Amino acid sequence: MADDVALSGIPLTMLWTLHNRASEARRPDAVLDDPDAVRLYESIDFDYRATFGEPDGTHAVRAVRFDAALRPWLAAHPGGTVVELAAGLETQFQRCDDGAVQWFCVDVPEAIEIRARFLPPGPRTTYLPISALDLSWLDRIDPTRGVFVTAQGLFMYFDPADVRRLVVAILDRFPGVELMFDTIPPWFSRKTLRGFRKTPDYTAPPMPWGVRRTEVPALLREWSSRVDSVEVSAFSPSHGPLPVLLPVFERLPVLRDIPPGIVRVRGVS
């Protein structure tokens, strides 16, 4: 029997990303293998298409890219700690668990309540029902074996000053930390601030922090002297013409800042 959930505002976006990931995973030509996302998708009584429209696979591509970065890090840091900011109903732990990682899920209380209902915590998973901006979560993390912090679909919902404060705090607290997050371009940020009506039934929350991908490395180094390296790349939906055109966007400066980006930062050890 399907279960229901009651969410609104930014926490509701956990169902938007689930819609895109699970719909992709159900395709015969899927780019993402995510059986737990499919299970959750089918367990929750919610009209995903009426609310969010047709799935485009963008969040599945993002998940694949985050997984590809995390798996070799886990192999190099046995027993290390992963902090998943805005965990929602993301199933990265289920996809990447190496049997040794210590995993912390940070999200607002209403999101953690729903996550715990469908993905109960285990011996190596700790759920912290607080906002990522409540920096007390840093006190719970043991950095002895390395720290990898992920933030999928989060920073764009914060004011720029809050993004800076959070990033600087992570770099300051954990020497050698790896931080991975995604960005939206300024044009899309402005669109959400005007009221981005994705479907007749759903208006996306405002996303105040938009940044040009090409400006991210300099911006992060301006924020903190503890940045060792920065990698930035674009991503797109999983199928259709956009994935084919993405290399063209990368080569042409006038187009380079149009797609969303994925950023991987390594802190100074």
Residue 42 tokens, joined: 């089918």
pLDDT at 142 over 70: yes
How far, in Å, CA of 224 to CA of 122, rounded? 35
Distances (CA, A) of 133 to 26, 116, 158, 196: 34, 21, 9, 25
Is 31 part of a structural domain of the chain? Answer: no
Residues 118-128, mean pLDDT to the nearest whole number: 97
User: Can you give the pLDDT at residue 248?
Assistant: 64
Is 159 part of a structural domain of the chain? Answer: yes
User: Can you give the pLDDT at residue 247?
Assistant: 73
Residue that has been written with the tokens 């994935």 in this structure: 243
pLDDT at 177 over 70: yes
User: Can you give the pLDDT at residue 1?
Assistant: 36
Is 23 part of a structural domain of the chain? Answer: no
Is 209 part of a structural domain of the chain? Answer: yes
Is 21 part of a structural domain of the chain? Answer: no
Q: 162 versus 243: which is more confidently predicted?
A: 162
Residues 146-152, mean pLDDT to the nearest whole number: 98
Q: What is the dihedral of CA 140, 131, 40, 150, to 10 degrees?
A: -60
Number of domains in the chain: 1
For the whole model, what pTM was predicted?
A: 0.94
User: Can you give the pLDDT at residue 57?
Assistant: 87
pLDDT at 163 over 90: yes
Residue 171 and residue 267 in contact, taking contact as beta carbons nearer than 8 Å: yes
Q: What is the DSSP secondary-structure string of the chain? A: --B-----TGGGHHHHHHHHHHHHHTSTT-S---HHHHHHHHHB---HHHHH-S--SHHHHHHHHHHHHHHHHHHHSTT-EEEEET-TT--HHHHH--SS-EEEEEE-HHHHHHHHHHS---TTEEEEES-TTSGGGGGG---TT-EEEEETT-GGGS-HHHHHHHHHHHHHHSTT-EEEEEE--HHHHHHHHHH-EEETTEEPPP------GGGHHHHHHHH-TTEEEEEEEE---SSSHHHHHHHHHHH-HHHHTSS-EEEEEEE--
> For all residues of the chain together, what is the average pLDDT?
93
How far, in Å, CA of 171 to CA of 177, rounded? 7
**Angle (CA) 180 148 256, round 5°:** 15
Percent of the chain with pLDDT over 70: 94
Q: What is the CATH number of the domain that holds 73?
A: 3.40.50.150
User: Can you give the pLDDT at residue 25?
Assistant: 96
Is 237 part of a structural domain of the chain? Answer: yes
Q: 245 versus 183: which is more confidently predicted?
A: 183
User: Can you give the pLDDT at residue 259?
Assistant: 86
Residues 158-165, mean pLDDT to the nearest whole number: 98
Q: Which domain holds residue 134?
A: 57-267
pLDDT digits (tens, 9 = 90+) for 178-234: 999 999 999 999 999 999 999 999 999 999 999 999 999 999 999 999 999 999 998
Nearest to 260 by CA among 203, 200, 192, 197: 192
pLDDT digits (tens, 9 = 90+) for 39-96: 999 999 999 999 999 998 899 999 999 999 999 999 999 999 999 999 999 999 999 9
Is 18 part of a structural domain of the chain? Answer: no
Phi then psi for residue 106, to 5 deg, are -110, 125
Residue 44 and residue 52 in contact, taking contact as beta carbons nearer than 8 Å: no
Is 184 part of a structural domain of the chain? Answer: yes
